[in-house]
Copies of this chain bind each other. A is one copy, B any other.
């Protein structure tokens, strides 16, 4: 196989636009802002990523600070960090004040502590305090995801006052999410919510407390991002308010950040389920050694666990010597346990993530996986027996004079191994969660490792019973 030829139709448009943008930057930097005005900041970010690194700061300077900030928000993390660290703290601060507070906090988190501190000192005090407060939250918590730009009004003002406030904010060009208004009581506690569409439709002059919904879905700042995602998905929200333990409004998480959080969570889960640590960076950009570090730990741990198969096999060395035919089916049998375990563990990990099953359902799940495992084991057992009988009859392989007994040993072992695999695979996520670990760590390789040793023991035990007096 040779590497594929570069395919123009597949190449991102950004790379094609980048040279044009560079020419424009050379010829008439003043017109760059105007010429790119209609581009979505995300697309402009792609173009910026395609031009030489040493021109990026110059290009950003040719845009308005607000526009440059938007482009930065969509840019590749690594490049953004580089650009900001080469800028003066003052220039960087000018861009960062234009960002939404949550994005600003995230961007600063990527920089070295010195660079971040320098930029923070150049940011006006009010914005700086907000940013520092946001940075104090865990990145994966509701507090770490929230923005402090939101609209809240006292419950005593009227619908028209509230509407005037919204329009004023919109005219000022502020960054707040305007489509949901939060209503607070005299103590500043979250007491209601109303969507902008409901506000537009509400009779003017009515106090807000009469039109707002009293039941407000909210999360505390320390809540995990998976909780934020669950509430957003279940209640079809476009923003989730974040409160402190006195129900005072601290900020809100907007739906676009929820989607990003869902995707990151899913990436982590899938990587853990593949039997490694979550990379926390894209596969395409993570450094080679960092990636190896994330993979080698689990791989070595699984390998050490799997060494017990060598110990178990050594325990049956005499049996293998006397009946070598038994060794032939070891990989077939243990892999079947691993495969059925992989199915069960994937089902349960996902059902847990979707809250379809909780810890207390373990018994109900076990009572479902037991018959499922037995049935699946019988299916494989029948196929296995048929395979051996047919191969022997057609003369493909010689399994010796006791081939019917060998076939029976394989068939019966499969029932045991697949049943054990399904049970282990389904129970491991419960056990991990109970012990405070992420159930997604119950990877297919982890389950297979647990099941392989047992598979060997089941197989040779069945053989000992059925073949005693003949082969053994």
Residues of A within 8 A of B (CB): 1, 3-4, 7, 10, 38-40, 42-43, 166-167, 170-171, 173, 178-179, 196-198, 200-201, 213-215, 217, 232-238, 255-256, 258-260, 262-263, 266-267, 269-271, 273-276, 279, 282-284, 288, 291-292, 295-296, 298-300, 302-304, 306-307, 309-311, 313-314, 317, 320-321, 324-325, 327-332, 334-336, 338-340, 342-343, 345-351, 354, 356-358, 360-363, 368, 371-372, 375-376, 379-380, 383-384, 387, 397, 418, 443-445, 448-449, 452, 456
A354 touches B274 (CB 8 A): no
User: Besides the contacts A270-B273, A339-B448, what 12 more A-B pairs have beta carbons closer than 8 Å?
Assistant: A40-B217, A178-B200, A238-B255, A262-B262, A283-B347, A283-B348, A283-B356, A288-B372, A299-B336, A299-B380, A300-B380, A444-B444
A276 and B343 within 8 A (CB): yes
Interfacial chain B residues near A39, Cβ < 8 Å: 215
**Known pairs A166-B200, A376-B292; A354 contacts B275 (CB<8 A):** no
- Beta-carbon contact of B332 and A330 below 8 Å: no
- Contact yes or no, A310 B282, CB < 8 A: no
Q: Return the contact of A295 from the options B170, B217, B372 (Cβ within 8 A).
A: B372
**Chain B residues whose CB sits within 8 angstroms of the CB of A279 once the complex forms:** 347
> What are 21 pairs between A and B in contact, CB < 8 Å?
A4-B363, A40-B215, A238-B255, A259-B262, A263-B354, A273-B273, A274-B345, A274-B347, A275-B342, A283-B356, A283-B357, A284-B357, A284-B361, A288-B372, A291-B372, A306-B332, A310-B331, A314-B397, A327-B330, A335-B338, A335-B448
Chain B's closest residue to A350 (CB) is: B270
Interface residues of A: mostly helix, strand, loop or mixed? helix
Query: A235's contact among B40, B166, B167, B397, by CB below 8 Å, is which?
Result: B40
Q: How far is the CB of A93 from chain B (nearest CB, A)?
A: 24
Given contacts A262-B263, A295-B343, A347-B274, contact A310 B332 (CB under 8 A): yes
* Among B167, B262, B357, B380, contact of A303 (Cβ-Cβ < 8 Å): B380
Are the C-beta atoms of B362 and A4 separated by less than 8 Å?
Answer: yes
Query: In whole angstroms, how far apart are the Cα atoms of A470 and B339 in the complex?
Result: 37
Which residue on B lies nearest to A336, using beta carbons? Answer: B303
Q: Which of B310, B339, B343 contacts A328 (CB 8 A)?
A: B310
| B171-A201 in contact (CB<8A) | yes
Specify which chain B residues have a CB less than 8 angstroms from the CB of A342 in the assembled complex: 274-275, 443-445
Q: How far is the CB of A424 from chain B (nearest CB, A)?
A: 14
Residue of B nearest to A347 (CB): B283
**Nearest CB of chain B from residue A89's CB, rounded to whole Å:** 28
- Say whether A233 contacts B259, CB under 8 Å: yes
A200 and B171 contact, CB distance less than 8 A: yes
Q: Does A320 contact B331, Cβ atoms closer than 8 Å?
A: no
Select A346's contact among B234, B270, B321, beta carbons within 8 Å. Answer: B270
- Is B328 a contact partner of A273 (Cβ separation < 8 A)? no
Question: Can you name the residue of chain B whose Cβ is closest to the Cβ of A311?
Answer: B397
For the complex of A and B, 10 pairs with smallest distance between CB atoms: A274-B346, A236-B256, A444-B444, A309-B331, A3-B363, A170-B200, A170-B201, A313-B328, A339-B445, A283-B351
